[in-house]
A and B are shown apart, each in its own frame.
Chain A
């Protein structure tokens, strides 16, 4: 039982440290590399080509960067066609397209 308490103590300590050091770091990626290997926490700059509602009522944007297109879930955001955006979020392949599920979307107006 002593060993169990030791492991429990280390597990709780590890959990606390993991929570403390877990930051929201997003890696700025090359659009070509992202299109080929659509996975991970990424930061992407691009222009909003189109905004539409899916059948389930989600607001989806098509963001183009260096000729590559990515789908971004834009629920709660109010951007329109032609806006230059910086999207930080988690990229993942779904139904044959590369999606970015954003943590943060900012207007890139400089």
Chain B
């Protein structure tokens, strides 16, 4: 799984331009799924049918897109100005290398001499292409980039850009590899444009309303000393979503996840977050309502070029989801 994760994080897939990462995911899942289709926004929807006629139906959704940058201006001094695609904290940027979709590399400028105020907003920053002739900028307005890839092992953890956007896909691919015959119908959605406001999950059409839907994503490990919410920690297992912004998942899904965890002795954590959004909220209120919930992998330094996750958390999330999927009644009667 680690090499799959490394491979997927290296492929660029900023919000709105996910085709390359989608092709890679498609290549991984083709032989394990019964059918799949791609919708008008680029969402990849795959099905694994069950063998029994009275099976339950579970929907798993994770987003493929990562945060990115888009050029807004080429200024007179020969640098490119940019803005964000998705949440890009300004502090994440100075000194970082970026990679454009056509392969060009750039460097987000920084300076130890300038005061902090000079780099407060993204609009104060610029991308340097290292051109001696400053008029020969290789980019134009609207060109799109992501953080340059940089996968690494650090201690017990893995670090890379785009963990947020690829960890979920890795988990779902691994699950598909493991399942031979499934007692339940599985729909997997690899969604687009989550980082810019959950647009892919809003647009995705669901033909067969599932009995349960789970959104898989990373969740930030908060590090404020006075935090009131139950802090999520790397290495302490998958996080079961209790609240995300205004959204509250359905108790039945929450309970099913806890049951599955207990039955396999998988240690879990609870996730309560004040500001972040979850695709589970979108799925829950679609059509006539769908029982939905969230399962999260803890992630430190989310939305930076070096997001940190723990491989055991990822494996345990796979175990937990696999247990739920393979249970004939999806733990819904417990």
A and B are interacting partners: no
Interface positions of A (Cβ within 8 A of B): none
